[in-house]
Structure 1
Amino acid sequence: MNFLFAWRYFRAKKSTNAINIIAWVSVSAIVVGAASLILVLSVFNGFEDLVKSLYTSFYPDIKVSPISGKNLTLTADQIKKLRSVNGVGALSLVAEDKGILENEGAWVPAYIKGVDANYTKVSGVGQTLERGKFETGTGDHPQAILGSGIANTLGVEAEKELLPLGVYLFRRGSKDYSADPMASMNHEALATSGMFRIQQDFDEHYVITNIEFVKRMVGLGPNEYSGAELSVTDPEQAPVIKQAITQLLGAGYKVQTRYEQNQSLYNVMGTEKWVIYIVLSLILIVAAFNMVGALTMLVWEKQKDIHVLKALGANNGMIQRIFLTEGLLLALMGGIGGILLAVIVCVLQIRYKLIPLQGGSFLIDYYPVKLVATDFLLVLSTIGVIALLASWLPARRAAAEPIALK
Structure 2
Amino acid sequence: MLLIAITSFLVGTLIYIGDSSFKLIQQLLFPRQMMGLKENLIVYGIMFLYLFLQSFSIYYIFNKTLVRLEQKSKLLVAFVVAVLSVALAGALIFFDLNNSLIGNCVILILISSALLSLIFGFLSFLLSKRRITGVNIITSIAVFAITIATTSLFIILSVFSGLEKMNLQFFSNVNPDLKISSAKGKTLSDIDNLTQKLTQNPSIESFSKVIEEKVSIEFGDKEDIAYIKGIDEHYNKVVRLDTLIQHGSYFNFQSPYEIIASEGVARRLQMYIDRYNSARLRMPKPGTGMITSETEAFNSAVANPIGVTYINDSYDKYILSPIELTQILLELPPNSAYSLELKLKPGISQNSAKAALQKELGDKVVVQTRQDLDATFIKVMNVENLIIYLIFTLVIIIACFNLAGAIIIIIIDKKVQIKTMWSFGMQRSHIKQIFFQTGLLITFSSILFGLTLGSIIGLLQNKFQLVMANSFVAFPFEFTLLNYITVTATVLIIGAGVSYMVSRKLPS
Normalised by the shorter chain, which TM-score bucket? 0.7 to 0.9
Give 2:281's aligned residue.
167
- Secondary structure (helix, strand or coil) at the match of 2:349 reads helix
Matching of residue 264 in structure 1 with residue 380 in structure 2: no
1:65 pairs, out of 172, 177, 181, with 181
Cα-to-partner distance string for 1:345-365 (whole Å, 9 max, x where unaligned): 1222222222234xxxx4735
Structure 1 runs not aligned, ≥5 long: 1-12, 402-406
Distance 1:217 1:363, change over 3 A: farther
* Cα distance between partner residues in 2 of 1:381 and 1:236: 37
Cα deviation per residue 1:237-270 (whole Å; 9 max; x = unaligned)?
A: 2222222221122112222222322322211110
Alignment partner, residue 388 of structure 1: 496
Give the distance between the partners of 1:86 and 1:305, measured in 2 at CA.
79
- Identity among equivalent pairs (%): 26
Q: Tell me the equivalent position of 2:293.
A: 180
- For residue 150 of structure 1, what is the aligned residue in structure 2? 265
Separation in structure 1 between the aligned mates of residue 262 and residue 368 of structure 2, nearest angstrom: 24
Counterpart residue number, 1:3: none
The 10-residue stretch of structure 1 (309-318 or 221-230) with the greater mean CA deviation from structure 2: 309-318
Output the CA distance in 1 between the equivalents of 2:341 and 2:415. Answer: 73
Q: Please tell me whether the aligned partners of residues 35 and 341 of structure 1 are also in contact (alpha carbons under 8 angstroms).
A: yes
TM-score, normalised relative to structure 1: 0.83
Confirm or deny that 1:376 pairs with 2:484: yes
Range with bigger deviation, 335-344 or 176-185? 176-185
Between the aligned partners of 1:326 and 1:352, the Cα distance in structure 2 is: 39
Q: Deviations over 1:209-236 (max 9, x none)?
A: 1123322442223553110112234688
* Cα pair distance change 1:25/1:176, threshold 3 Å: same
Pick aligned residue for 2:305 from 165, 171, 192? 192
Matched, 1:210 2:322: yes
* Alignment RMSD: 2.9
Q: What secondary structure, in the 3-state scheme, does the structure 2 residue paired with 1:354 have?
A: coil
Q: Secondary structure at the match of 2:478?
A: coil
| 1:330-353 deviations in Å (ceiling 9; x for gaps) | 011111111111111122222222
**Contact 2:285/2:296 (CA < 8 Å) preserved in 1?**
no
CA 1:288 to 1:86, structure 2 compared with 1: closer, same or farther past 3 Å?
A: farther
Q: What is the Cα deviation at residue 145 of structure 1?
A: 1.3
d(CA) in 1 for partners of 2:184 and 2:346? 29
Equivalences for residues 11-50 of structure 1 within 5 A: 17-50=133-166
Q: Cα 1:79–1:333, aligned 2, differ >3 Å: closer, same or farther?
A: same
1:294 is matched with 406
Confirm or deny: 8 A CA contact 1:85 1:245 kept in the other structure. no
1:114 equivalenced with 2:230 (yes/no): yes
Q: Please state if 1:221 is matched with 2:333.
A: yes
Alignment check: 8 A CA contact 2:180 2:341 kept: yes
Question: Aligned partners of 1:343, 1:117: CA distance in 2, in Å?
Answer: 47
- 2: distance between equivalents of 1:26 and 1:236? 53
1:334 paired to 2:446: yes
Contiguous gaps of at least 5 residues in structure 2: 1-128
Q: 1:93 is paired with a residue of what secondary structure?
A: strand
Secondary structure in 1 aligned to 2:207? strand
SS at 1:35's partner residue? helix
Task: Label 1:279 to 1:69 Cα distance change in 2 as closer, same or farther (>3 A).
Answer: same
Distance 1:81 1:317 in 2: 74
For residues 94 and 366 of structure 1, the distance between their equivalents in structure 2, rounded to whole angstroms, comes to 34
Give the helix-richer structure, 1 or 2.
2
* Larger RCO (CA within 8 A; separation ≥ 6): 1
- Following superposition, the deviation at residue 24 of structure 1 comes to 1.0
For the 8 Å contact 1:136–1:208, the answer to whether it is kept is no
Is 2:231 aligned against 1:123?
Answer: no
Instruction: Find the counterpart in structure 2 of residue 367 from structure 1.
Output: 475
Matched, 1:349 2:461: yes
Matched residues, number: 380
CA–CA separation in structure 2 for the residues paired with 1:342 and 1:234: 37
Cα contact 2:233–2:253 (8 A) shared by 1: no
- Residue 283 to residue 213, structure 1, CA distance change in 2 (3 Å): closer
Q: Deviations over 1:271-290 (max 9, x none)?
A: 11111111111222122222
TM-score of the aligned structures, taking structure 2 as reference length:
0.67
Inter-partner Cα distance in structure 2 for 1:297 and 1:177: 85
CA contact (8 A) 1:339 1:376 kept: yes
